[in-house]
Structure 1
Amino acid sequence: METTKLREWLENGGAEGLSWLQLEDFPDTGRGVKTLRPLKSGDIVLTIPGSFLWTVDAAFDDPILGPIISSVKPPLSVEDTLAVFLLFIKSRIERYEGRQAHVKLLPTSYTTSVCFTDEELEICSGSSLYHITKQLKQQIRDDYLQLLNNLFSKHPDLFPLEKFTQNDYMWALCAIWSRGMDFQLPGKQFRCIAPFADMLNHSPDVQLCHTYNPQSDSLQILAGKDYTIGEQVFINYGSVPNNRLLRLYGFVLPNNPYDTYDLVLTTHPLAPLYAQKVTLLESAGLQVNATFPLTLSDPLPLDVLRYLRIQRLSSSEISTVEAKRGARNIVSARNEAEILKALIEACESLLDGFSVPLEKLEANIASSVYQKSDNKWAAAHVSIGEQKIIKMTLQKTRELLALVICAQCGKANENNKRCGRCRRVEFYSEILLELFKRNYN
């Protein structure tokens, strides 16, 4: 019934493509959209006029809601504006039949990580997702209290508190995160939810195929590949790692090639030679408080090593760097050994911080201890992806350290082919120069 109302509302307003698209439940993805006719890659699948989009402008243009939210101080964020807009329409009993038909088709619950129980979230304890989700849950509580004090409690006739609870607010946020589309327009970031188009599921195997045209004020979905009759039509959210897929969209992709682990590096203002090191970091194009994505294809980015080398420079090494800026021999074997050892310790500590080791997670998935597609299963895949990357980082760091230190005595001796302590021939100077000749470009 609601699907029929939504179709009629959209088609009467000029939406195109609904006649050959149909909502259906698929075994692997749940509800999605299938095509009733063949499609070629690049064909226009669906066009939604801008007047039907859920946007900040649409919220402010509403004759009832707009004047109220425009007077809120401090101004509402984009997410809060859209969340209030969704809940306002959901709470009304008249005037908004088209939008209400869309709201009634939205899931009643979500599987994004903020909706996990503590037990479910604990499966990925130690992952970046775990810490971000904990912070998000607290932020949701704080933001809701601000909305309650600055908006809801001041206008109880428009925002009945039994329909604007914290759980309702979190539901609306999850709808925005999982169904919203972002576009970079000249001078601004544009976020919207497009009715019916938001029912399309993600696949990394199709081309990016959703676009917004500000001239025609319309959102279009293009076919990201060829489709036959009855196939599910997908869109592509981009190269998204599992920790972000689960946080925003509520699902994961096993063996996701885009998995990442965000390594955070910072230098304390009280650290020795802080001012000089900040100058060197900035000259190398690096921030003092920096986040480096470690990936399966690049588990140890050069910028991580560049940052750590500067962070661990001694006063004499800084003088050498400043005197020989751009010289190929600014890499110190002492410095290199120190940063690689520190990085090994950091990786080992990170791996120890995961509540469930990689091998046990994989065994639990293989033996169906975690049921496929449930929350624990999804959390396990996030943890597996991040642990694999950190293990690869650890392995690569150990390999580099073996090139720097003497295999006999374990010491790093500067600029010698032969270790001064054990007289064993080593070649780390030439290796370092070749590997790191692009330092501080």
Structure 2
Amino acid sequence: MESSAVRVVDFEGVGRGMQAVRDIAEGEVVLEVPLETCWTAAAAAESEEMQCVVRNFDKLNISEEDLIALHVLSWRTQSASHHRSDYVRQLPFQYDIPLVWCSNEIDNLSGSTYHGLALREKQRAEDKFSSLENTLQEIGGDCSEFLERHTITLDGYLWGLATVRSRSTELRIEEAQTGEIRELICLPAGGADQFNHSAAIKGECFRLTKEGRLQVVARESYKQGEQVFISYGNSLTTAQLLFTYGFAYDDALRVSKIGTPLENDAVDISHVVPDSCNSKEEAAKHGLVVEAVTMLEDEEHNGWNLQSREDDDAVQVLFHLRLSRPVPNCWLVTNRLLQLEDVQVRELQESSELMAKVLAGRPVSPANEEAALSAMSLELMTRLDGYGARSSELLSRLGGEGESASRRERLAVNLRLIESAILERALDAVQAMIAAPPPEAYVL
């Protein structure tokens, strides 16, 4: 690594990072490396060892991420002095993203919204590797020996994916002939992957020059000796930090701070809009729900999103509960609509004025309000029941500052406690609404 501005240093309590060797001004380029020395799909395509994979890219049904991971793995067995083998040798022996966790470690997320996600990601990767293994054998020739030649096992493949996922960045490249912008995954080399993340950093820190050089830009000024940070992304949540990068902010894993939500942490409450209903009345209610959340889009500021479920054709609405907004208006409105009596459904369908009042947050009727809040309270209590026992067991093992529990256990319990804290805040808010009469007049 050649830089007059930064050097690699092991920081106490933080680990490896970049230190300013002199004062650095905001906006200054602190490191620059040729893109060709980094790990990209184009670099893999130029590798002699990767030709059997590159030639059969479509047949193997792999992604750009897979290709780069296999390229990294192909250099693990090469002892020749080369900047790529040097890079691979300095990579961590293991990562802490759930993709590489064993089943017992994933079970520490039981009850969490993200337990299912961890299981699905792990299973998809295992299925992808099995398919890759079988297809390479079917192709034959040098392809049949690729994995064995480089001693690539399932565990190695997962390690390779974790390397790419936790250390890469996305770059935007303008095609010279068409002017189109395309994105490529880049695993930076030459020390550009040694910068740590700070939530205080705003703006993109990587940029690509027309000459094909990857630059790291300081987004703050630094004094000599200070650690130089980059941003892995704005407004990252605890779950994103864990699943993509395998870490949490160090303070968050201390016993005194564990389970403290970040500003953008959220728990999702889902409502499924079925593709077919048992009655016209039921279909009408769900129709009002879709109409409501669609019309509330501009007001909710990411309070919800609409998406298709993976296993069927049903649409689901995900309501995002945050500590700062534990009961988003769209979730409350949805529950009020779902508790409507048939006659109330018809009244709202026939009057846009009445529907507008409901969308504005006005309660429908005393009985409807009681039913809606009771349903919300029950859903929250049911969700909270899934967190308690396992979290208490893990917390009992944390000791003074977590010495008796592994880092992965602390990462898991941190995420679980954050979710339960948000759900408890939401439950408190709903119960307060139950205890106090609504301030606005009823719509019906």
Q: Could you say which TM-score interval applies, normalised by the shorter chain?
A: 0.7 to 0.9
AA aligned to 1:115 is V
- The match for 1:171 among 138, 143, 159 is 159
Contact 1:358 1:387 survives alignment (8 Å): no
Residue pairs, 1:274-423, within 5 angstroms: 274-284=282-292, 285=294, 287=306, 288-327=315-354, 328-330=356-358, 331-333=363-365, 334-356=367-389, 365=398, 367-368=400-401, 371=404, 374-404=407-437
CA distance in 1, matches of 2:350, 2:199: 49
Taking the aligned partners of 1:274 and 1:176, their CA distance within structure 2 comes to: 47
Letter in 2 for 1:379: A
Task: Assess if the C-alpha contact under 8 Å between 2:394 and 2:409 holds in 1.
Answer: no
1:362–1:36 Cα change, 3 Å: same
Distance 1:293 1:429, change over 3 A: closer
Shift of 1:394: 0.9
Contact kept, 8 Å, 1:69 with 1:76, in 2: the verdict is: no
Go from structure 1 to structure 2 and tell me whether the alpha carbon gap of 1:162 and 1:432 turns closer, same or farther (over 3 Å shift): farther
The more displaced of 328-337 and 72-81 is: 328-337
SS of aligned partner of 2:75: helix
Instruction: Tell me by how many angstroms 1:306 deviates.
Output: 3.1
Corresponding residue of 1:270: 277
- Please tell me the residue identity of whatever aligns with 2:351: K
State how many pairs are aligned.
394
**In structure 1, what residue type is equivalent to 2:288?**
L
SS at match of 1:40: coil
Deviation at residue 166 of structure 1 after TM alignment: 0.1
Within a 5 Å distance, the mapping from 1:25-424 to structure 2 comes to 25-66=10-51, 68-72=53-57, 73=59, 75-93=61-79, 97-151=82-136, 154=140, 155-160=143-148, 163-183=151-171, 188-195=182-189, 196-213=191-208, 215-237=210-232, 238-253=234-249, 254=252, 255=260, 256-268=262-274, 269-270=276-277, 272=279, 273-284=281-292, 285=294, 287=306, 288-327=315-354, 328-330=356-358, 331-333=363-365, 334-356=367-389, 365=398, 367-368=400-401, 371=404, 374-404=407-437
Aligned amino acid, residue 245 of structure 2:
Y
TM-score for both structures, normalised by structure 1: 0.79
For residue 430 of structure 1, what is the aligned residue in structure 2?
440
Distance 2:133 2:289 in 1: 44
Equivalent residues of 1:35, 1:229 under 8 A apart? yes
How far 1:106 moved relative to its partner?
0.9
Structure 1 residues 430 and 262: CA distance shift in structure 2, 3 A: closer
Where does the alignment leave 5 or more consecutive residues of structure 1 unmatched?
Answer: 1-6, 12-17, 405-427, 434-441
- Structure 1 residue 281: deviation in Å? 3.7
The RMSD of aligned alpha carbons is 2.9
Asked if structure 2 preserves the Cα contact closer than 8 Å seen for 1:124 and 1:355, the reply is no
**How far apart, CA to CA, are the structure 1 residues paired with 2:414 and 2:167?**
22
- 2:92 is paired with a residue whose SS is coil
More displaced 10-residue stretch of structure 1: 261-270 or 27-36: 261-270
User: Could you say which residue in structure 1 is the equivalent of 2:176?
Assistant: none
- Cα distance between partner residues in 2 of 1:156 and 1:360: 47
Residue identity opposite 1:378 in structure 2: L
What TM-score do the two structures reach when normalised by structure 2?
0.79
Aligned residue for 2:160, secondary structure, equals helix
Instruction: Find the aligned partners of 2:374 and 2:419 in 1 and give their Cα distance.
Output: 21
Which one-letter code corresponds to 2:277 in the other structure? L
Structure-2 change in CA distance of 1:430 and 1:82 (3 Å)? same
Deviation at 1:345, TM superposition (A): 0.8
Classify 1:226/1:364 alpha carbon distance in 2 versus 1 (closer, same or farther; 3 Å): farther
Equivalent position SS for 2:273: coil
1:112–1:248 CA contact under 8 A, matched in 2: yes
Query: Against the structure 1 CA distance between its residues 314 and 213, is the aligned structure 2 distance closer, same or farther, given a 3 Å change threshold?
Result: farther
Q: Is the 8 A contact 1:129 1:247 kept in 2?
A: no
Q: CA deviation at 1:117?
A: 4.1
Q: Is the 8 A contact 1:41 1:225 kept in 2?
A: yes
User: 1:361·1:384 contact (CA, 8 Å) conserved in 2?
Assistant: no
Amino acid at match of 2:330: D
Partner Cα distance (2:38, 2:337) in 1: 49
Conserved in 2, the CA contact under 8 Å of 1:343 and 1:397?
A: yes
SS of 2:321's equivalent in the other structure is: strand
Structure 2: distance between partners of 1:184 and 1:337 = 52
User: 1: distance between equivalents of 2:184 and 2:269?
Assistant: 29
**Distance in 2 of aligned mates of 1:364 and 1:167:** 28
The secondary structure found in structure 1 opposite 2:146 is coil
- Of stretches 113-122 and 244-253 in structure 1, the one that deviates more from structure 2 is 113-122
Q: Structure 1: how far apart are the matches of 2:204 and 2:15?
A: 21
2:165–2:244: 8 Å Cα contact kept in structure 1?
yes
SS at match of 2:185: strand
The verdict on how the C-alpha distance between 1:395 and 1:108 changes in structure 2, with shifts beyond 3 A counting, is: same
C-alpha deviation, 1:162, in angstroms? 6.2
| CA deviation vs aligned residue, 1:148-195 (integer Å, no higher than 9, x gap) | 112367413433266110000000111112101134666544321111
Alignment partner of 1:19: what SS? coil
CA change 1:281–1:242 in 2 (3 A) is same
Percent of paired sites with the same residue:
25
Distance 1:40 1:432 in 2: 59
Residues 165 and 355 of structure 1, relative CA distance in 2, 3 Å threshold: farther
Any idea what the Cα deviations from partners look like across 1:55-78, whole Å, max 9, x if unmatched? 223323445524633424253222
